[in-house]
Amino acid sequence: MTIATRRAAPPDAVDFLGIDALLSDEERLIRDTVRGFVRERVLPDVATWFEEGYLPRELGRELGKLGLLGMHLSGYDCPGASAVAYGIACLELEAGDAGVRSFASVQGSLAMYAIYRWGSEEQKREYLPRMARGEAIGCFGLTEPDFGSNPAGMRTFARRDGSDWILNGTKMWITNGSIADVAIVWANSDDGIVGFAVPTNTKGFSASNIHRKISLRASITSELVLQDVRLPESARLPLANGLGGPLACLNEARFGIIWGAMGSARTCYETALEYSKTRVQFDRPIGGFQLTQEKLANMLLELGKGTLLALHLGRKKDEGTLHSSQVSFGKLNNVREALAIAREARTILGANGVTLEYPVIRHMNNLESVLTYEGTSEVHTLVIGAQITGIPAFT
């Protein structure tokens, strides 16, 4: 046995485990590029977007120019990046704001992926290149006012009328709804659950924004109303059949959240660490007090473990061995821990922690949404429970 005698370099205060070294040069370049974009284009204004409750429309085109929309899809002007590369981009975008990451998630993993996976060749050619460039925006309508965790009960109904379809129903909590050019809408029908790519200028389609949110404010959230929306058969996603259609899309988006949550967590930890070194109380930096150090150390533990977990699941996804219950494992753990980190960071910042002068409370409030969207933590807990016992606790 050889004993390593080389003196180990002291670890970085943020990348304490040296996870950087597990990334390829290309992955690091993607990370640096997205991080630079966020630093220059998102961070200077995001607190204002959050305060005023909007996301600038041109940001979509800029994300498209970078190639981040539908980045893990291949063909149709999409770059065909790896799952890990997509995860890294999600992490860096959410280190800016979960609203920006949600925009990219919904566009790429929900709307574009639905067309990519379940759409016809014509639909792919019509929508994907424009969506990749950010020229056309997509949204994803599954959740309804009365059907969140139980989407199978959805009331939106698609009725056949000759060769056409007539859609009626309401979709709720739809990111990008009112700015979308195309809405992926899931509906019950006599043949079970079917999906449609609905051009938002179709007669009978309307979207109104949900106001008075105090989370994900730098993100558009809408209600979609479909009133006798008449669509040709060519608008139906021909390969989607049953609830598996939308759930496959959600699985893609959840994968991005596993990474994104660690972006929020990293920003909160970095902010708290920096603050603790400069904020002086009782004649010394508060970072020198044992209670603060315990908080920082606990935050760092979960940040390191969560990031390693994200990378591990990403590598599995790239080799094709990632099971959907493992995605639940990642989302459940990383969002829960990110929220705990954000709350702990808030206490280190004291009163400054509740203002938008610092990013912490913005991330903390955002994570409250991330905790329940794309599958609540309760549902993810029960997915894992069903997987390990073989007994589903809900149907």
Partner 1 sequence: MKIVVTVKLVPDPNAEKRIDTSTKRLVRTGVETVLNPYDEYALEAALQLKEKAGGDTTVTVFAMAPESLKETLRKALAMGADDAVLLSDPALEGSDVWATSYAMSHALKKIGFDLLIVGGLSDDGSTGATPGALAEYLQTPLVTNVRKADAEGNSLKLERETDTGYQTVAAPLPCAITTALTFGEPRYASLKGIMGAKKKTIAPLTVGDLGLDREVGVSGSKTALLAANPPAARGKGQVVEAADGATGAKAIFDFLKERKLV
CB atoms within 10 A of CB 213: 14
Residues 57, 65, 160, 230: which binds partner 1 (CB under 8 A)? Answer: 65
Q: Is 360 in contact with 342 (CB distance < 8 Å)? A: yes
Q: Is the Cβ of residue 67 or residue 138 nearer to partner 1 in the bound state?
A: 67
- Candidate segments 21-29, 114-122, 260-268, 341-349, binder of partner 1 by CB under 8 A: 21-29
DSSP notation for 195-261: EEEEETTSTTEEEEE----SSS-SS-EEEEEEEEEEEEGGGB-TT--STHHHHHHHHHHHHHHHHHH
Smallest gap from Cβ 63 to partner 1, in A, equals 10
Does residue 9 belong to the site contacting partner 1 (CB under 8 A)?
yes
Rank residues 133 and 213 by Cβ distance to partner 1 and give the closer one: 133
Closest to partner 1 by CB, 108 vs 304, is 108
Q: Which residue, 30 or 383, is less far from partner 1 as judged by CB?
A: 30
Minimum Å distance from CB 76 to partner 1? 13
Tokens 């014509």 -> residue: 122
Note whether 68 binds partner 1 by CB under 8 A.
Answer: yes
Question: Interface with partner 1 by CB under 8 A: which range of 74-82, 171-179, 344-352, 357-365?
Answer: 74-82
Closest CB to partner 1 among 15 and 181? 15
All residues at 6 or more sequence positions from 107 whose CB lies less than 8 Å from its CB, including other chains? 60, 63, 69, 70, 131, 134, 137, 138, 176
**Minimum CB separation from partner 1 for residue 71, in Å?**
5
The residue (of 36 and 350) whose beta carbon lies closer to partner 1 is 36
User: What is the C-alpha to C-alpha distance for residues 259 and 307, in angstroms, rounded to an integer?
Assistant: 7
What is the token pair recorded at 255?
């994968």
Task: Tell me the sheet residues that pair with 140.
Answer: 184
CA distance 283 to 15: 30
CB of 15 to partner 1, least distance (A): 12
Q: How many CA atoms lie within 13 A of 145 on its CB side?
A: 7
Task: Give the total of residues touching partner 1 (CB under 8 A).
Answer: 19
User: What totals of helices (H) and strands (E) does the chain contain, helices first?
Assistant: 12, 11
Q: Which residues contact 140 (CB under 8 A, 6 or more apart)?
A: 106, 110, 111, 114, 174, 175, 183, 184, 246, 249
25 lines the binding site for partner 1 (CB under 8 A): yes
> Site for partner 1 (CB under 8 A): which residue of 13, 29, 297, 354?
29
Q: Answer yes or no: 94 catalytic.
A: no
- Which has the closest alpha carbon to 381: 330, 340, 305, 337? 330
- Angle at alpha carbon of residue 387, lines to 386 and 392, rounded to 5°: 20
Let me know: does 188 contact 158? Beta carbons within 8 Å.
yes
φ/ψ of 197, rounded to 5, equals -100, 105
Which one among 46, 47, 59, 71 touches partner 1, defined by CB under 8 A?
71
- In the window 166-185, what residues touch partner 1 (CB under 8 A)? none
Binding mask 75-104 for partner 1 (x = CB under 8 A): ----xxx---x---x---------------
According to CB under 8 A, which one of 42, 50, 59, 67 is a site residue for partner 1? 67
Catalytic annotation, pick one of 27, 337, 374, 378? 374
Q: How far is the CB of 30 from partner 1 (least distance, A)?
A: 6
Residues that bind partner 1 (CB under 8 A): 9, 25-26, 29-30, 32-33, 36-37, 65-68, 71, 79-81, 85, 89
Q: So which residues are the catalytic ones?
A: 374
